[in-house]
Chain A
Amino acid sequence: MSYGIITSKPGVNVSDPTVERKDLTFDSRLEHFQYQTTDKVVFTGSGVETIAHNLGYAPAFMAWIKENGQSQWRTVFRNVGEFEAYVDNTNLYLYGNTGDTIRYFLFTKPINPATVTDKVTTGGYGIISVIPGANANEPRLHEINFSSDFGSLIIYKELNFTIEISGAGTTTSTQSHGMGYAPTFIASVYDGLNYYTEPFIYADFTDQVTLSVLVDTTNVVAECSVTSSFVPMTAQFKVHLLTEDLD
């Protein structure tokens, strides 16, 4: 390929034909995750908050919650009765309890591309890159793989944790992230057998294991909660801290 823009991580030779795409910071041939909308909702009661997104399709999204009285953020997952988030073609739905705060990001990429209708973006200036085959003068929103009008999911820092667990209960490991604000994050965990997207929860009739990540303005905390049947065990975490602010 003889055209396009590619940038690489420091120390990586971008012109090396063997360079791996994981070592690139940007490649105009690829789709990048960006968001057009972010906000936070503070729950004044328990139940659902409905946010109209006006995209005409269900966008990929992520959300994090700071529960009532807590200073740490955690990933929103389908925790029915406590908190959860889901989307459709019209709205984002957030469930929480009184005093909870949920930060959400609605990405430009549709979850199901088949549902996308023609929706042309407009804008007067800036930098735009579209997927191969799309018209950069009149792209549909999901065809844009980078726009300077949008916010981005940029990996700022990666932190690794290993926690040796010798007894039942909750064990944590804490590292300072040094960013000065509570950053968004995506994490993976290892339970000694497999890798999972955080949070990892296993439960049967008698035992439970929970591996989760908590973030505040100073620290990242990896947390293991296990019952005695699973110890001793070693849990690993890799936390990708993104540049966006949760607060």
Chain B
Amino acid sequence: MSEQYGIIILKPGYTLNNIEDPRAWAFNSRYPMLKVATKGAGTLDGSPAQEIINHDLGYNPLNLLYVEDVINPGQFHLATGDTATGFPFVRNNPGDPNNIYVIDEFASDQDFFYFVFYDETLT
């Protein structure tokens, strides 16, 4: 590697011969792991329904949102920015860098769970 400092931990099954292969890394002190800033849960109810996740980071962070199936409780789907299918989606407003919006056009006791990361995305 061009820089000879830092800490690298390889995943089980890899050897020092693989040290320059990113696929082998469990950890490399030069590259960020996804770090959870906040996590929690909420419920969407209404038409339209909106819940605000406050993270206070001051920028638009990466996030993962999981939605519990209303018909089949205990089943969880990953939500994205798909606003077209009547499924909850995640939206960030450019003028509001401290909150994430979870929205559904119609929801009745729709539970969701989220992870917000420190890692920054579009701002």
A interface residues, Cβ below 8 angstroms from B: 7, 9-10, 20-22, 24-27, 30-34, 58, 60-63, 75-78, 80, 84-89, 93, 109, 111-112, 127, 146-156, 179, 181, 183, 186, 188-190, 194-203, 208, 211, 236-238, 240, 243-245
Known: A151-B26, A155-B119. A89 touches B74 (CB 8 A): yes
Known: A201-B83, A238-B122. A25 touches B77 (CB 8 A): no
Known: A148-B26, A196-B81, A240-B119. A86 touches B33 (CB 8 A): no
Chain B 48-65 residues near chain A, CB threshold 8 A: 57, 59-65
Chain B 80-96 residues near chain A, CB threshold 8 A: 80-85, 87, 89-94
Q: B9-52 toward A: CB 8 Å interface, digit per residue (1/0)?
A: 10110000000001101111111111111010100000000000
Number of A-B contacts (CB under 8 A): 207
Residues of B within 8 A of A188 (CB): 60, 62, 92, 121-122
Residues of B within 8 A of A21 (CB): 35, 37, 118
Q: How far is the CA of A196 from the CA of B12 in the complex (A)?
A: 35
**How near does chain B come to A102, taking the closest CB pair, in angstroms?**
13
Residues of A within 8 A of B41 (CB): 112
What band does the interface of chain B fall in when counting residues whose beta carbon is under 8 Å from A?
A: 35 or more
**How near does chain A come to B61, taking the closest CB pair, in angstroms?**
8
B35 near A30 with CB under 8 A, answer: yes
Partner of B81, one of A20, A84, A199: A199
A194 near B89 with CB under 8 A, answer: no
A238 near B23 with CB under 8 A, answer: no
Residues of B within 8 A of A89 (CB): 74
Q: How far is the CA of A22 from the CA of B33 in the complex (A)?
A: 10
Q: How far is the CA of A109 from the CA of B38 in the complex (A)?
A: 13
B113 near A27 with CB under 8 A, answer: no
Q: How far is the CA of A104 from the CA of B121 in the complex (A)?
A: 23
B84 near A202 with CB under 8 A, answer: yes
